[in-house]
């Protein structure tokens, strides 16, 4: 069976969806990272999106943000609210609450301070992916969060992107383990692919995800 050409995939999608991809990246760039609530909701989104659909995560965030519920309620109340709309209500409710309290107590709800203290590419992501106080966030979710608030140089290696890379011969068909070392190595492969088309990793992810799913969400 012949392999897909990653370059032809990109060219095909850009021919159809370049304007939509560019518009979405602009929306990401307009997130004010100094505004706590706006930024925290993006973190809540990626915590909820793991193992579920993007649309379910988005609709659940809409429920949690109404009347500032997710910013003010205790753990029991958050879990109860999630129970009516989300499958993993207990565990993800704990992740959201514990992470919220950590950012509140240690950083006075200032993402600006977090980013100032962790300004390098590696440390910025590692703060979220390897910090036991930030719960429910690994390499993929941390990358997703950072992309959604305007950082363009992180790859979101979900199953769709990994499978497409296999189909295009960019990684081995039997590849399975996505530890930090492998994640960074695969991210570098995509960075080189993107550079051939003058695309950031942020834009490239939207292009490849659209090819696999037919959707541009976030």
Residues labelled as active-site residues: 140, 158
Q: Are 157 and 177 in contact (CB under 8 A)?
A: no
Distance CA 158, CA 142 (A): 12
* Pick from 123, 99, 95, 94: nearest CA to 109: 99
Cα–Cα distance for residue pair 27/33, rounded to 1 Å: 13
Q: At how many degrees (to 10) do helices 201-213 and 139-148 cross?
A: 110
Kindly state the helix (H) or strand (E) to which residue 187 belongs, with its residue range.
Answer: helix 180-196
Burial of 52 (0-12, 13-18, 19+ CB in 10 A): middle
**Residue 58: count of CB within 10 angstroms of its CB:** 14
Structure tokens that stand for 212 in this block: 């696999």
Instruction: Work out the angle at residue 156's Cα, subtended by the Cα atoms of residues 117 and 96, and round it to the nearest 5 degrees.
Output: 60
Give the list of residues 6+ apart from residue 85 with CB closer than 8 angstroms, or none: 59, 60, 63
């Amino acid at each position: 069976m012949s392999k897909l050409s990653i370059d032809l995939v990109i060219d095909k999608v850009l021919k159809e969806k370049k304007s939509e991809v560019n518009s979405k990246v602009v929306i990401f760039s307009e997130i004010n990272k100094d505004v706590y609530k706006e930024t925290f909701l993006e973190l809540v989104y990626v915590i909820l999106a793991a193992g579920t659909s993007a649309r379910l995560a988005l609709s659940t965030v809409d429920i949690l943000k109404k009347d500032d519920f997710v910013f003010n309620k205790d753990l029991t109340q958050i879990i109860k609210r999630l129970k009516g709309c989300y499958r993993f209500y207990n565990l993800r409710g704990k992740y959201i609450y514990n992470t919220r309290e950590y950012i509140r107590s240690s950083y006075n709800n200032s993402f600006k301070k977090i980013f100032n203290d962790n300004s390098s590419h590696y440390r910025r992501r590692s703060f979220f992916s390897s910090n036991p106080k930030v719960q429910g966030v690994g390499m993929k979710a941390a990358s997703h969060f950072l992309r959604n608030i305007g950082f363009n140089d992180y790859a979101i290696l979900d199953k769709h992107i990994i499978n497409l890379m296999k189909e295009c011969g960019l990684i081995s068909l039997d590849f399975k383990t996505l530890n930090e070392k492998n994640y960074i190595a695969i991210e570098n492969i995509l960075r080189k692919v993107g550079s051939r088309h003058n695309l950031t990793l942020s834009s490239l992810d939207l292009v490849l995800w659209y090819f696999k799913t037919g959707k541009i969400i976030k």
